[in-house]
Amino acid sequence: MATPLRIEELRTRAAPLDMTSDQFRSLGHDLVDRIADFLTSVPTHPVTRAESPEQVRAALAANRMLPEEGGDPQALLRDTAALLFEHSLFNGHPRFFGYITSSAAPIGMLADLLASAVNANVGAWKLSPMATEIEAQVIRWLAQFIGYPADCGGLLLSGGNMANLTCFLAARAAQADWDIRRQGVAGGPRLCIYASTETHTWLQKAADLTGLGTEAIHWIDGQPMDLENLQVRYRQDVKEGHRPFLVVGSAGTVSTGAVDPLQDLAEFCQEHKLWFHVDGAYGAFASGLAGAPPELKGLESADSVAVDPHKWLYSPLEAGCALVRNPSTLRNAFSYHPSYYNFDGQGLNYYDIGPQNSRGFRALKVWLALQHAGAVGYRKMIQDDIALARYLYDLAVDHPELEAITHHLSITTLRYVPQELPAGLGLEQTEEYLNELNERLLDAIEKSGDAFVSNAVIAGKYALRFCIVNFRTSTKDIEAMPQLVARLGRQLHAELASSIAKIIESVPEKR
**Stretch touching ligand PLP by CB under 6 A, among 43-51, 78-86, 249-257, 383-391:** 249-257
Closer residue to ligand PLP, CB minimum distance, 248 or 417 = 248
200 binds ligand PLP (CB under 6 A): yes
281 binds ligand PLP (CB under 6 A): yes
352 binds ligand PLP (CB under 6 A): no
| Helix and strand totals (H; E) in the chain | 16, 12
Please state, in angstroms and rounded to a whole number, the distance separating the CA atoms of residues 192 and 211.
Answer: 12
224 binds ligand PLP (CB under 6 A): no
Which of 92, 320, 354, 482 binds ligand PLP (CB under 6 A)? It is 320
Cα–Cα distances in angstroms (integers) from residue 248 to residues 196, 218, 220, in the given order: 8, 11, 10
Residue nearest to ligand PLP (CB): 160
Q: Which residues on neighbouring strands pair with residue 453, listed in sequence order?
A: 97
Q: Kindly report the three-state secondary structure assignment for every residue of 295-353.
A: HHHHHHHCCEEEECHHHHCCCCCCCEEEEECCCHHHHHHHCCCCCCCCCCCCCCCHHHC
282 binds ligand PLP (CB under 6 A): yes
Report in angstroms how near the CB of residue 257 gets to ligand PLP at its nearest.
9
Report in angstroms how near the CB of residue 307 gets to ligand PLP at its nearest.
10
Please state, in angstroms and rounded to a whole number, the distance separating the CA atoms of residues 36 and 437.
Answer: 39
**Stretch touching ligand PLP by CB under 6 A, among 157-165, 220-228, 289-297, 343-351:** 157-165
312 binds ligand PLP (CB under 6 A): no
Report in angstroms how near the CB of residue 211 gets to ligand PLP at its nearest.
21
Phi and psi at 421, nearest 5°, equal: -90, 155
The H-or-E segment that residue 480 falls in is: helix 475-506
**Stretch touching ligand PLP by CB under 6 A, among 5-13, 155-163, 481-489, 493-501:** 155-163
Q: What is the largest CA-CA distance in the chain?
A: 92
**Stretch touching ligand PLP by CB under 6 A, among 81-89, 156-164, 219-227, 351-359:** 156-164
295 binds ligand PLP (CB under 6 A): no
482 binds ligand PLP (CB under 6 A): no
Contact 340, 332 (CB under 8 A): no
Closer residue to ligand PLP, CB minimum distance, 136 or 305 = 305
159 binds ligand PLP (CB under 6 A): yes
Q: Could you give the 3-state DSSP secondary structure of residue 63?
A: coil
- With CB under 6 A as the rule, give the number of residues binding ligand PLP: 15
- The single-letter DSSP state of residue 104 is P
| Cis previous bond, 67, omega within 30 | no
Closer residue to ligand PLP, CB minimum distance, 48 or 166 = 166
| E-assigned strand segments in 104-173 | 153-157
Question: What are the respective helix, strand and coil percentages of the chain, to the nearest 5?
Answer: 50, 15, 35
**Stretch touching ligand PLP by CB under 6 A, among 23-31, 47-55, 186-194, 250-258:** 250-258
Closer residue to ligand PLP, CB minimum distance, 162 or 216 = 162
Phi and psi at 75, nearest 5°, equal: -65, -40
Please state, in angstroms and rounded to a whole number, the distance separating the CA atoms of residues 165 and 405.
Answer: 31
Report in angstroms how near the CB of residue 39 gets to ligand PLP at its nearest.
23
Helices 475-506 and 363-398: angle between axes, nearest 10 degrees: 60
| E-assigned strand segments in 75-216 | 96-97, 153-157, 191-196
Report in angstroms how near the CB of residue 272 gets to ligand PLP at its nearest.
24
488 binds ligand PLP (CB under 6 A): no
314 binds ligand PLP (CB under 6 A): no
Which of 217, 254, 463, 492 binds ligand PLP (CB under 6 A)? It is 254
Phi and psi at 383, nearest 5°, equal: -65, -35
Which of 48, 103, 132, 161 binds ligand PLP (CB under 6 A)? It is 161
Report in angstroms how near the CB of residue 308 gets to ligand PLP at its nearest.
5
160 binds ligand PLP (CB under 6 A): yes
125 binds ligand PLP (CB under 6 A): no
Which of 112, 135, 198, 308 binds ligand PLP (CB under 6 A)? It is 308
Contact 284, 251 (CB under 8 A): yes
Going by C-beta distance under 8 Å and a sequence separation of 6 or more, which residues neighbour residue 488?
Answer: 441, 444, 445, 448
Closer residue to ligand PLP, CB minimum distance, 306 or 451 = 306
**Stretch touching ligand PLP by CB under 6 A, among 212-220, 279-287, 425-433, 457-465:** 279-287
Report in angstroms how near the CB of residue 158 gets to ligand PLP at its nearest.
7
Smallest CA-to-CA distance from 243 within 188, 301, 164, 292 is with 188
**Stretch touching ligand PLP by CB under 6 A, among 145-153, 178-186, 246-254, 364-372:** 246-254
Report in angstroms how near the CB of residue 407 gets to ligand PLP at its nearest.
16
Contact 374, 397 (CB under 8 A): no
> Which amino acid, one-letter code, is at 490?
R
Contact 359, 351 (CB under 8 A): yes
Closer residue to ligand PLP, CB minimum distance, 148 or 282 = 282
Beta strand 275-279 with 243-250 is parallel
Q: Can you give the binding site for ligand PLP, defined by CB under 6 A? A: 100, 159-161, 164, 200, 202, 250, 252, 254, 279, 281-282, 308, 320
